[in-house]
Amino acid sequence: MKTTSRYRAAARIIAAMGVVSLVAACANNGTSAAGGGGDAAYPTENITFVVPFSAGGPTDTVTRMIAEPMAAKLGGRIVVQNVEGAGGTVGAGEVARAEPDGYTVLMHHIGMSTAPALYQNLDYKPLEDFEMVGLVTEVPMTVVARKDFQPATLQDLVAHVKANADKVTLANAGIGAASHLCGLLFQSAAGVKLQEVPYEGTGPALTDLVGGQVDFMCDQTTNTSGQISAGEVKAYAVTTPERVKSLPDVPTTTEGGLPQLQVSVWHGLYVPKGTPQDVVTKLSEALKVALADQQVIDQMAKLGTAPVAAGDATPQAHRAKLEEQLGTWAKILADAGVKAS
């Protein structure tokens, strides 16, 4: 069975079970659903958005925000499929091998630019096996800890972990995840090597942090804002040059004395290489409409992020970003000596 067929079958089952909530009214143009992505009537069947991470995580959250307004613009239906595993490479690889007809779309984050440096046997090449649709958002990261962790400020945290490197636990969502990458940068900036505790997804990692099973972690505002506001975790800093509007009391890493820790997690949409250009253009235009939707803007603001400018929601800007980030992370990961098993 072709990969695309498997996605479509799964999407129909999920939709029938009522699990997928992202549905827009499907325009009935009276034509049969053909797989050819170059058809001017596209879309004539459900579009599957593949998220290569667990449901409920930051990338999944962003995907679900934009799917409904994109579907409304396209005049079709979008379902979201979580295909997790190996730092996002399982889902990305399946999309790379799917039919290039516009019915299988990948939402990926910064991990698309780190995978080639992390995985020696990666079965796809980001720049060669995908068409870029456009960037979606750049999400700030936060340095957070269990609420009863001793250090009071970011400077205190750095001093504490240096003095207790063999005892402090640093959680992440797995090798190559955004939280892992941010954690690597934290250790590099602080000049310390810590005991890392990898989880299979951001949700389980944050759950254990809230429960006090691990000491601290670095994760996206889309996943931590609620816990910070509720006082369930202690927040030390945001990893951006300016404070985040939804977290006005959380200082930046520069204010906290660790200016080297600057990172944001960018997200973008991809389709398999060879997808007809008119289909890529339709998806890109629908993305721009979704990012200008006031509900999407408001939802993102609550999570400490914002849509990219319209000029960045394009294939050209997306490709330029990916090219630049591939080079940046290749050096960082090589210097850190990090490889995925």
- Higher-pLDDT residue of 245 and 161 is 161
Confidence at 236, pLDDT banded by 50, 70, 90: very high
Residue with tokens 């389980």: 204
Strands 47-51 and 104-108 come out as: parallel
Confidence at 39, pLDDT banded by 50, 70, 90: low
Per the CB < 8 A criterion, the answer to whether 107 and 63 are in contact is: yes
What SS3 state is found at 172? strand
> What average pLDDT does range 8-34 have in this prediction?
38
User: Side chain identity at 239, as an amino acid letter?
Assistant: T
Share of the chain above pLDDT 90, in %: 67
- Higher-pLDDT residue of 60 and 40 is 60
Residues of the chain by 3-state class (helix, strand, coil), percent to 5: 40, 20, 40
pLDDT at 162 over 80: yes
| Count of other CB atoms within 10 angstroms of residue 289 | 17
**What's the pLDDT score for residue 253?**
97
Q: Which residues contact 107 (CB under 8 A, 6 or more apart)?
A: 49, 50, 51, 59, 62, 63, 136, 267, 268, 269, 270
Among 28, 30, 36, which residue's Cα sits nearest to residue 75? 28
Query: What are the residue ranges of helices labelled H in the chain?
Result: 3-17, 58-74, 89-96, 111-118, 154-163, 178-190, 202-210, 221-229, 277-291, 294-302, 315-336
Q: Which residues contact 27 (CB under 8 A, 6 or more apart)?
A: 75, 76
Cα separation of 89 and 125, whole Å? 11
Query: What are the residue ranges of helices labelled H in 230-314?
Result: 277-291, 294-302
Confidence at 188, pLDDT banded by 50, 70, 90: confident
Angle at 129 between CA 67 and CA 139, to 5 degrees: 45
Tokens read off for 265? 């997690």
Cα separation of 277 and 71, whole Å? 19
Lowest-pLDDT range, 6-20, 55-69, 267-281, 287-301? 6-20
Per the CB < 8 A criterion, the answer to whether 224 and 235 are in contact is: yes
Query: 58-95 burial by CB neighbour count: b if 16+ within 10 A, else e?
Result: bbbbbbbbbbbbbbbbbbbbbbbbbbbebbbbebbbbb
Tokens read off for 77? 């239906």
Q: Residue 182 — φ and ψ, nearest 5°?
A: -65, -40
Tokens read off for 189? 């900036």
Cα separation of 99 and 96, whole Å? 8
Supply the DSSP symbol for 310.
G
Tokens read off for 270? 């991809």
Q: Residue 70 — φ and ψ, nearest 5°?
A: -65, -45
Per the CB < 8 A criterion, the answer to whether 212 and 148 are in contact is: yes
Per the CB < 8 A criterion, the answer to whether 22 and 78 are in contact is: yes
Strand partners, 138: 266
- Higher-pLDDT residue of 87 and 119 is 119
pLDDT at 108 over 70: yes
